[in-house]
Amino acid sequence: GDSVTQMEGPVTLSEEAFLTINCTYTATGYPSLFWYVQYPGEGLQLLLKATKADDKGSNKGFEATYRKETTSFHLEKGSVQVSDSAVYFCALSDQGNNRLAFGKGNQVVVIP
Amino acid sequence: GAVVSQHPSWVICKSGTSVKIECRSLDFQATTMFWYRQFPKQSLMLMATSNEGSKATYEQGVEKDKFLINHASLTLSTLTVTSAHPEDSSFYICSARVRGWYGYTFGSGTRLTVV
């Protein structure tokens, strides 16, 4: 079935550092890809999405490009802030099955 | 737009009692809603999918008699945890698929603690 793999472990970095969180996927169809962010004690908020190959999603300085050839959707931000500390989930949705498949999530901690 | 209001945000109940969690779509019609459970520092586990006016579809391993889902209208879905036990303590999140837009919006979650 469809699945999403995120890099293992939390990510700790200093303010203004460059952030990359890797995400790869397995899908039988042509999925849409998403990044969600979860702040402590809250639900998920959509950060960005891409619906077809080579699309780039962007929001709040974050970017991710839908790479069909490498089945990846890595999240990047050039200069993180303390307020970016949260858990980030990569997800995919195949139009055929009408549901989201989530990666395990990555805790990002930004130190002042 | 596309806001889902979930409440309560947290609840503490005694073992053996039932708890109802509500999710309302405020500015759109939610034909499909999803209920997730999240354990500390883990990803979301899909429990069930509910479609307005029909029975919910439960994921394998989820007890449908314990986790009752009702989606009686296009703006309201409820999850009732019946005869709750401490192992049911978790963070429950609802999500709605927005009609006419290929996307999903999430409620703010409910922290359930059973004592």
In chain B, residues with a C-beta closer than 8 Å to the C-beta of A100 are: 34, 46, 95, 104
Token pair listed for B7: 């409440």
Distance (Å, whole) CA B32 – CA B42? 24
Tens of pLDDT, residue by residue over B43-70, are: 889 999 988 888 899 999 999 999 999 9
Q: How many CB atoms lie within 10 A of CB B98?
A: 19
Token pair listed for A89: 């989930």
Task: Tell me if chain B has a CB within 8 Å of the CB of A104.
Answer: yes
Distance (Å, whole) CA A80 – CA A35? 16
Which of B42, B43, B109 lies nearest to residue A43, judging by beta carbons? B109
Distance (Å, whole) CA B29 – CA B71? 12
Mutate to test the interface with A, among B32, B43, B58, B91 (most CBs of A within 10 A): B43
Tens of pLDDT, residue by residue over B93-115, are: 999 987 655 578 899 999 999 99
How does B31-43 read in b/e, with b if 16+ C-beta sit within 10 Å?
A: bbbbbbbbeeeeb
- Mean pLDDT of the A76-85 span: 96
* pLDDT > 90 fraction of chain A, expressed in percent and rounded: 72
Nearest CA among B69, B51, B50, B47 for reference residue B60: B47
Helix, coil or strand: residue A83: helix
Nearest CA among B39, B43, B79 for reference residue B63: B79
Tens of pLDDT, residue by residue over B21-44, are: 999 989 888 888 999 999 887 888
Mutate to test the interface with B, among A100, A104, A107, A108 (most CBs of B within 10 A): A100
- Mean pLDDT of the A1-7 span: 88
Q: What are the backbone dihedrals phi and psi of residue A46, each rounded to the nearest 5 degrees, phi first?
A: -70, 125
Give pLDDT, residue B100: 57
Task: Tell me if chain B has a CB within 8 Å of the CB of A49.
Answer: yes
Tens of pLDDT, residue by residue over B68-98, are: 999 888 899 999 999 999 999 999 999 998 7
Could you tell me if A56 and A64 are in contact, meaning their C-beta atoms sit under 8 angstroms apart? yes
